[in-house]
Structure 1
C-alpha cells in the first residue's frame, strides 16, 4: 500500500514547542507528531487540474469547508482524490500547459503522493472532437515528419518528468481523438492508417521512457457505443496499440459549453436523462472491455457545480463504475474551477472557492 506521510507536521510541532529548561533532570518532552496517511492505491479517483497554476497566478485561492485557505492539491487529496491528470500543449501562446508548466504541477502532485496521468494534445491549444489543429511549428511537415514529431515531443516531455524522479502511471496519446488527430493528415475518417501510425508513435515513445506506463486512447461521448466501435475497429485493423480506452461523459445539453444552468439542460438532445446517460456509459464500458479485451478509464466527467442533483450524479456514476471489472477509475475535469473561471461552470467548488458536496462521491471507501 502506498502511504503518504505528513512529516512536515512534526517539524512544525517541534518548532512550536517552548523549552523552559535544558538541564538533564528536566529535559523537555516533545509531543509525538500525528501521522496522517493516505491510501493512494486502487480505483483512481482523479482530478484534471491543468488550469491550477494559471488560476493561482491570477490570484485565485482555495478554501476548505470551514473557510480556511488551503493549497489546492493538498485539499483535493483530503477530499479523496488520489490521481492527477495534466494536459500538455506543444508551444502555447501564453506558456500555460507547456512542458515547464506541466513539470511544475507534476512535481507538486508527485510530492503529495498522487498517481499521474499525462494527456498529450499534440497541439498548441485545445484538441477535441471539433478541433485537432497541428502545432504551428509542425504545420508544413510531411506525414513522416509529423510521426517523428509525435515521437520527439512525447519523449522529451516524459524524459523531463522522469529526470525529476516523477513517476507517470498513464499516458494519453491524443485528447478526445474521436476523428483522429493532427488534421488533416491524421484524420481518421479520411485516413485511419495514418491515425493508427501516429498513435503508435506516441505509444512506442511513452513505453521507451516509462515501460510500465499504461497508454490511453481517449474519445468523448462515453454513452454512445458506435462512436467507440468505429474508431477502435479501425485502429485495430490498422495495427494500432493501446492499453486502455479512455472515455469522457458530460451529460445533458450545453450548446456552447461555457455556461452553467442558464444554458445547460440535464436532458441531452436525444432525450436521455443523466441517469440514462450514466447507465449507457457503464454498459458501454463492459462492452468495450469484452470486445477489445482492454481496460477502460473515464478521463473526464462533469456537470454544472450548482446543479441540484450534482452530488447524486457523481455518486451514481462513480459507484457503478467501481462495480465494472476492468474500469480503472474516474477523473473529474477541472474540479478546482469556480466563479466562472474561463467560462467553465462544471467544477466542484462553489463561487466562494469552497468544495461542494459532490466530492463525497470521490471519498475513500
Structure 2
C-alpha cells in the first residue's frame, strides 16, 4: 500500500480437493485444501513494514524514543514490543530504493537485531496494489510463460542472496494486495484466474526451492470483504495453486474501526474453516493524529487475530509506522511530527 522463535508444536491438518472457480459470495460446502501447509508458529508476530527506513535516513529523518533520545528505527520499534519486520522488493526501481541491495541492507540490520523477517515481492518496479500491478519494464513485452520464468528467477535470486547472508525469511509474499492479480494484463484475475494461479505457483515453487520452511503468503486488501477473499482463493484452489498463509490488509478510519475489525474477524475465521490455512494481518494503519482511536483499533485487531480459530491467527503488522512529517504525503504512520512514537504503538507492548 501507499496511501506490510518457538519450535512449531501444532499438528498440521491435511486436506485436498478441487472445486470450480466461483464469483464473489458464491456458496461452497467443501472446506478441504491442499496438504502443504507448514506448521503454525506459536509466537504471535507483532511488527511493522520498515521499507522506507533507509530512504528516510538518507533524507536526514531521525527517530526518537518517548524521552527524546535518538534511536535507530528498527531498534526503537523492537523496544516498543515488535518482533517482526516486513520489507518490500521492487525489481528495477528508478530511484534504487527497495532494490536488491537496499533490501539486503534492511534485512541484515533486522537479523542483527533478532527480528523475524517477511519479504514482500511486488513484482513491479514501483508500487503494486489493488489498482496498480504494472509489469517491470524489463518484463514488459513478456507473455505468461516468460513472466513465470522471470518471476521465478527474480524470487530465487533475492532469496538466495539473503540466504548467503544467513537470512531465511519466515514469510514471503508472492505479490502485494493482489485483489485482481498481478503482472497485468496477463495475470489479471478478472480476466484470467488460471494465469494468476500459475504465477502464484511459480512464486511458491521459487520460495520453496530456496527454503522449504519459509511460509508463502498470498495477500489481499480490504480484510473485511469476505466475498472478495472467497472469490479469489476459491479460484486459486480450483486452479491448483498453493499457498501457506492468507495475508490481509485493513485500514479503517477512527470512526468505523470497530465494525471493520468485527467483519475482519468473521472473515479470518471463515478463511481458516474454508481453506485450512493460517491468516495474518500484514498491513494495518490509521491516521497518525488519532492516536487514541488508533491504539484502540490496534489493541482490538491484535486481540481478535489472536482469537482466530485453531490458533491460526499468526500476527499483526503496522504499515510504515516510522513515516512522519507528511513523509511522501503519507499520513497513516504512528510517529508524531517530532519523530517520536505516538500512543497508538502502546498496543504492541
Q: TM-score range by the shorter chain?
A: 0.7 to 0.9
Please give the TM-score of this superposition, normalised by the length of structure 2.
0.87
* 8 Å Cα contact 1:134-1:182 kept in structure 2: yes
Matched, 1:344 2:330: yes
Matched, 1:361 2:344: no
CA distance in 2, matches of 1:51, 1:194: 32
Instruction: Find the counterpart in structure 2 of residue 319 from structure 1.
Output: 303
CA distance in 2, matches of 1:190, 1:328: 32
**Residue 309 of structure 1: SS of its match in structure 2?**
helix
Show CA shifts across 1:278-304 (max 9, x none). 110011100000000100010100000
CA distance in 2, matches of 1:126, 1:220: 14
List 4+ stretches of structure 1 deviating above 4 A.
Answer: none
CA distance in 2, matches of 1:144, 1:41: 38
CA distance in 1, matches of 2:332, 2:280: 20
Report matched runs for 1:20-39 at 5 Å. Answer: none
Show CA shifts across 1:17-62 (max 9, x none). xxxxxxxxxxxxxxxxxxxxxxx97100011000000000000000
Structure index of larger Rg: 1
CA distance in 2, matches of 1:313, 1:136: 39
More relative contact order in 1 or in 2 (CA 8 Å, sep 6+)?
Answer: 2
Instruction: Find the counterpart in structure 2 of residue 30 from structure 1.
Output: none
Instruction: Find the counterpart in structure 2 of residue 197 from structure 1.
Output: 198
**Superposition deviation, residue 88 in structure 1:** 0.2
**Superposition deviation, residue 305 in structure 1:** 1.1
CA distance in 1, matches of 2:192, 2:274: 23
Structure 1, gaps ≥5 residues long: 3-39, 253-265, 268-272
Report matched runs for 1:29-108 at 5 Å. Answer: 42-108=43-109
Structure 1 76/41 Cα, relative in aligned 2: closer, same or farther at 3 Å? farther
Report matched runs for 1:223-242 at 5 Å. Answer: 223-242=224-243
Show CA shifts across 1:256-295 (max 9, x none). xxxxxxxxxx45xxxxx21000110011100000000100
Instruction: Find the counterpart in structure 2 of residue 301 from structure 1.
Output: 284
**Superposition deviation, residue 316 in structure 1:** 1.4
**Cα-Cα RMSD:** 1.2
Matched, 1:286 2:269: yes
Instruction: Find the counterpart in structure 2 of residue 145 from structure 1.
Output: 146
Show CA shifts across 1:57-84 (max 9, x none). 0000000000011111111111001000
Q: How many residues align?
A: 308
CA distance in 1, matches of 2:270, 2:303: 18
CA distance in 1, matches of 2:47, 2:71: 19
CA distance in 2, matches of 1:142, 1:304: 40
**Residue 117 of structure 1: SS of its match in structure 2?**
strand
CA distance in 2, matches of 1:206, 1:330: 22
CA distance in 2, matches of 1:143, 1:285: 31
**Superposition deviation, residue 142 in structure 1:** 2.0
* 8 Å Cα contact 1:41-1:82 kept in structure 2: no
